[in-house]
Amino acid sequence: MQAQTDTDPMPTDPGDGRRRRPRAGRPGQRPATIGEVAAEAGVSIATVSRVLTNTKPVRPETRRRVLEAASRLDYVPSGPARALAGSPTGMLGLLMTDLTQPFYTELANAIESEAQARGYTLILANGAGDSGREAAYLDLLAQRRVDGILVASRGVTTRHIDWLRRAPVEVVLVTCEAPGVPLPAIVAASHDGAAMAADHVLALGHRRIGEIVGPSVSASSPERHAGVVDALTRAGIAERDLAVESCDGDVAGGRVAAEVLLARTPRPTAILCYNDLVAVGALHAIAAAGLSCPGDVSVVGFDDIPIAAMVSPALTTVAQAVEEMARWSVDRITAQIAANRGEGTVEPPEVVRKPCRLVVRGSTAAPPAWTGLPA
């Protein structure tokens, strides 16, 4: 039997200890909302959802308060509330970190295709790189007609963790993990992918290497940096000899970081980039400095977004298994939804790490002979 879940503490107001709201549903008044039921019962909307769905354990006293509050307010479930009450809607929520990033746009398209193939409609929420906005969207999606939520974020913040611990619907994570919360997740093997990129330029003969890492909010950035460091260490190059600059993960940031690297003496002959947008910025910086790629400086990206093959020179990059990640995540969320309704079972939550692959194009070559660096 599943252990009962702790719920929100009831406020200690005067009188009987419960907040009072004007009785809704009487002539001339609008119907009560699920939020008003939550306030009346002194619990969160998530707790009301758990009582309505009857899918997650709630203490008997809490359940009684919620049901009595709904009765006092003459609460009539709306369409979304009926969905929370257990009626399948055939809709999934997808929370994305930032749709201005081409990788996430590509991932969203792949997930939508997989969802449609299984008869589901997708509701897309764009967090726009704002963790507070992402947290608000999680609440909103839980109140809407969704049978489950897919979270594709650069990193899970404390706000996410708090919500995910008490999620009222099924959740699967894509491109991120939630430390301490047993949720299924699928991520790219970023460490190994970055090591693959470093091994590639090392095999070409590069020994003076620069790296442009991503923003601090990105969970994958430290993993990729660690992969580069491990590859260099295996080749006998100390971490202190790796020239590192950071940026926000866009083209402009990549250009500025690359300009700093190129100003070093001696300058790097290869630059490993956090993602393909950063690599495009590095290409601009190389050209602006009167240098050539790959003649003077080789560049490697990450993600293999469509533009990687369109720039000149075409980018050598590390490709993530976007379609496979989308397929796995939709398969998993739909299986969880079915199991929650008594239709089959699912394996315990796990974190799946999908291997990356190196895509070699025209932006990498052997280092120029004039550097005098050992091969």
- Cα–Cα distance for residue pair 305/242, rounded to 1 Å: 26
Which pLDDT belongs to residue 54? Answer: 58
Is the omega angle on the peptide bond into residue 266 within 30 degrees of 0, that is, cis? yes
The single-letter DSSP state of residue 80 is: H
Determine how many CB atoms are found less than 10 A away from the CB of residue 116: 12
Token pair, residue 181, equals 């919360």
- Is 172 within 8 Å of 338 (Cβ atoms)? no
Helix (H, G, I), strand (E, B) or coil at 270: strand
Task: Check whether residue 314 and residue 350 sit in a common domain.
Answer: no
Task: Check whether residue 216 and residue 365 sit in a common domain.
Answer: yes
Determine how many CB atoms are found less than 10 A away from the CB of residue 33: 16
- Is 130 within 8 Å of 136 (Cβ atoms)? no
Task: Check whether residue 367 and residue 230 sit in a common domain.
Answer: yes
Exposed (0-12), middle (13-18) or buried (19+): which is 68, by Cβ within 10 Å? middle
pTM above 0.85, yes or no: no
Where residue 175 sits, what CATH number does that domain have?
3.40.50.2300
Q: Which residues are 211's β-sheet partners?
A: 244, 272
Query: Helices marked H in the chain — which ranges?
Result: 34-41, 45-53, 60-72, 79-84, 102-117, 131-143, 158-165, 190-204, 220-234, 251-262, 276-288, 322-340
- Is 246 within 8 Å of 264 (Cβ atoms)? no
Exposed (0-12), middle (13-18) or buried (19+): which is 294, by Cβ within 10 Å? buried
Exposed (0-12), middle (13-18) or buried (19+): which is 205, by Cβ within 10 Å? middle
Which pLDDT belongs to residue 155? Answer: 78
Overall domain count for the chain: 3
Helix (H, G, I), strand (E, B) or coil at 238: coil
Burial 339-368 (b: 16+ CB within 10 A, else e): ebeeeeebeebeeeeeebebbebbbbbebb
Task: Check whether residue 74 and residue 117 sit in a common domain.
Answer: no
Task: Check whether residue 214 and residue 308 sit in a common domain.
Answer: yes
Taken in order 109, 112, 116, 117, the sign of the CA dihedral is: positive
Q: With CA atoms as reference, report the closest residue to 177 among 166, 168, 169, 189.
A: 189
Task: Check whether residue 43 and residue 99 sit in a common domain.
Answer: no
Q: What angle do CA 107, 110, 116 make, to 5 degrees?
A: 140
Task: Check whether residue 299 and residue 326 sit in a common domain.
Answer: no
Where residue 82 sits, what CATH number does that domain have?
1.10.260.40
Task: Check whether residue 236 and residue 363 sit in a common domain.
Answer: yes
Consecutive sets of 10 residues in the chain, 375 residues long: mean pLDDT of each?
41 37 41 80 82 69 85 64 58 88 93 95 86 81 86 80 84 90 94 98 97 92 97 96 96 98 96 98 98 98 97 98 97 91 85 97 90 44
How far from each other are the two terminal CA atoms of the chain, in whole angstroms?
Answer: 63
Which pLDDT belongs to residue 203? Answer: 98
Q: With CA atoms as reference, report the closest residue to 134 among 102, 164, 111, 169.
A: 164
Domain range for 33: 1-87
Task: Check whether residue 282 and residue 179 sit in a common domain.
Answer: no
Domain C-terminal end among 87, 106, 128: 87
Task: Check whether residue 224 and residue 284 sit in a common domain.
Answer: yes
Which pLDDT belongs to residue 235? Answer: 97
Domain C-terminal end among 70, 87, 104: 87
Which pLDDT belongs to residue 56? Answer: 65
Determine how many CB atoms are found less than 10 A away from the CB of residue 276: 28
Task: Check whether residue 235 and residue 364 sit in a common domain.
Answer: yes
Task: Check whether residue 342 and residue 309 sit in a common domain.
Answer: no
